[in-house]
Amino acid sequence: MLIPRPVSISDSAGSFALTPATAIHAPDAPEVAALLRELLTPVTGLPLPDAAEHGPHTIALHVDPGATDLGAEGYRLDVARTGVTAVATGPAGLRWAVQAFRQLLPVAAFARGPADAAWTVTPVSVVDTPRYPWRGLLLDVGRWHKPVAWLRTVVDLLAMHRMNVLHLHLTEDQGWRFEVRKYPRLTEVGAFRRASPAGHETDNASDDTPHGGFYTQDELRDLVAYAARRGVTIVPEIDLPGHMQAAIAAYPRLGNDPENPPEVWTRFGVSTRVLNVADETVAFVKDVLDELMDVFPSPWIHLGGDEVPLDEWQASPEAARRIAAEGLDGAGDLLGWWIRQVAAHVTAAGRRPVLWDELVGQSAPADAIVMAWRGHDRIADGLRDGHDVIATPHEHLYLNYPASDAPGEPLSIRDGYPDPHGPTTLDSVYAYRAEPAGLPQELASRVVGVQANMWCEYAPTAERAEYDLLPRLAAVAEVAWGATTDPAAFRTRLATHVRRFDAAGLTYRPLD
């Protein structure tokens, strides 16, 4: 009943029991032994101490660099009546073995505090490797700030699904959430709005509810460490040069009309207020990225690039001078120009830029990874443009879209716009395959990941976001891990899986 389903699993008779005598033997991976303890001791009350020897009643976690068939994240897990053995080429695979083992226990193992259960496991043999190295979730904390404690809950959710990337969308027109010590007004001003959007964005209304909040660098460093212990990388995004209205409200000199600065936006939609093209603004953003890279050790830094209206640049003499000086072909080329400035800065720091698919055909650096969001076809476009691509097509993997077209679904972005694709049902997510058709293998093999996106315009609370995420995130996880079954078999496993959500106190959309 594992989700995602492992590549191979066979069970046998009997049972293995966790008892006060159970100990962990993990001389090559003490950090994974600590994770197993961090996950299980508070729930079971069992001490699970370190064992010097691989004896009876031990859980042995072995690193075997020679087990190359397992790759960077695969694992073998053998539960026998007398003990448990996990093997991987490094800690990454052992962490997934720990998560798989946790799902073999009674669902009470997912409780957030002490629970009562017979902590037994049916003996199994699992051999498992993921299909995609990037199995991600984007969480938008720009539209509505979410408590940092809940971000840890999201990390837990990802880890239990053997997903390894939390893409944190930290900046928006409606709020800047990342503390930047050099530019304190980004959060003093940019993290707070006077009023909030009301109803659907097409109603163009706001109410008198102020909203705000941000994450200190110390909070984020703690979150990064918490996630790293669970094998989850937090990939931060500073979305630019659009979606910058909150930053421009904080520092009007970043915008194209400093005499008429905007306020932190109180509407949803696509703002026309974008960064100007001054050298000082590029330098400002590089300073922000330096602090960002200091807090987030992620090998990947997301630089945004989506939804950049050209209105302000088309009207700006400064933009016209930039276009002439750089030999660009009009304001439409300024997006690529902007991204090249900051991508080079990220690359010089030894990180890889990630960009939304608007950058396809915009001379983005070849090492940049493209996130194809505007449709499944954008995957092939990104590949043909020479990039590694992460599949996050909105019509399949946007979990902020409604899960059915029945009346009674909560308000969503889709309420204001006709939807040619139909609802994003559990079954439609589960049926999604990222492989683009009709491309040569050397291109198709450059699809490096699958990611769901959770935009939060209509998810002001953690509970609403959980309702949108669950259980569809489980389907995403299984698609990204790559050992999918027929949908009926998935639903059978899911019936057990949602009881894990119950045990963890999570909100989810009930199964139909």
Residue placing its CB nearer to ligand ACM in the complex, 77 or 359: 359
Check residue 140 for interaction with ligand ACM (CB under 6 A): no
- Name which of 357 and 466 has its Cβ closer to ligand ACM: 357
Report if residue 265 touches ligand ACM, rule: CB under 6 A.
Answer: no
Taking the C-alpha atoms of residue 235 and residue 214, their distance in angstroms, rounded to an integer, is: 17
Residue 380: both structure tokens together: 């092939």
What would the DSSP string read from start to end of 119-167? -EE--EEEEE--S-SEEEEEEE-SSS---HHHHHHHHHHHHHTT--EEE
Helix, strand or coil, per DSSP, at residue 199: coil
CA–CA dist 337, 359 (Å, integer): 10
363 within 8 A of 342, measured Cβ to Cβ: no
Which of these, 431, 434, 373, 428, lies nearest to 403 by C-alpha position? 428
- In the sheet that 75-80 helps form, which strands lie side by side, from edge to edge? 8-11, 124-128, 75-80, 83-88, 58-63, 23-25
Nearest distance, CB of residue 208 and ligand ACM, angstroms: 28
Nearer to ligand ACM, 3 or 244 (CB): 244
Smallest distance from the beta carbon of 46 to ligand ACM, in angstroms?
44
CB-nearer residue toward ligand ACM: 74 or 236: 236
Residues 108-127 interacting with ligand ACM (rule: CB under 6 A): none
Give the chain's radius of gyration (CA, Å): 24
Cβ-proximal residue to ligand ACM, closest one: 306
| Min separation Cβ 398 and ligand ACM, Å | 7
Between 307 and 419, CB nearer to ligand ACM: 307
Q: How many residues bind to ligand ACM according to rule CB under 6 A?
A: 4
Residue from 176, 268, 284, 373 binding ligand ACM (CB under 6 A): 373
User: Which of residues 160 and 339 has its CB atom nearest to ligand ACM in the complex?
Assistant: 339
- Least Å distance between CB 474 and ligand ACM? 22
Q: How far is the CB of 452 from ligand ACM (least distance, A)?
A: 12
Give residue for tokens 């962990």: 24
Out of 50, 287, 291, 307, which residue is the one contacting ligand ACM (CB under 6 A)? 307
Q: Closer to ligand ACM by CB, 183 or 356: give it.
A: 356
Cβ distance to ligand ACM smaller for residue 447 or 494 = 447
Q: By CB neighbour count within 10 A (0-12 exposed, 13-18 middle, 19+ buried), where does 299 fall? A: exposed
**Strand blocks (E) in 182-287:** 192-193, 197-198, 205-206, 211-212, 233-240
Q: How far is the CB of 138 from ligand ACM (least distance, A)?
A: 8
Q: Toward ligand ACM, which CB reaches closer, 201 or 306? A: 306
Write the DSSP assignment of 34-93 as a string of letters. HHHHHHHHHHH-----B-SS--TTEEEEEE-TT-GGGTTT-EEEEEETTEEEEEESSHHH
215 binds ligand ACM (CB under 6 A): no
CB 170 within 8 A of CB 178: yes
Q: Is residue 38 close enough to count as binding ligand ACM by CB under 6 A? A: no
Residue from the set 172, 173, 306, 466 that interacts with ligand ACM by CB under 6 A: 306
Contacts with ligand ACM, 343-362, as mask; x by CB under 6 A: -------------x------
Kindly list the residues in this chain that would bind ligand ACM in the complex (CB under 6 A).
306-307, 356, 373
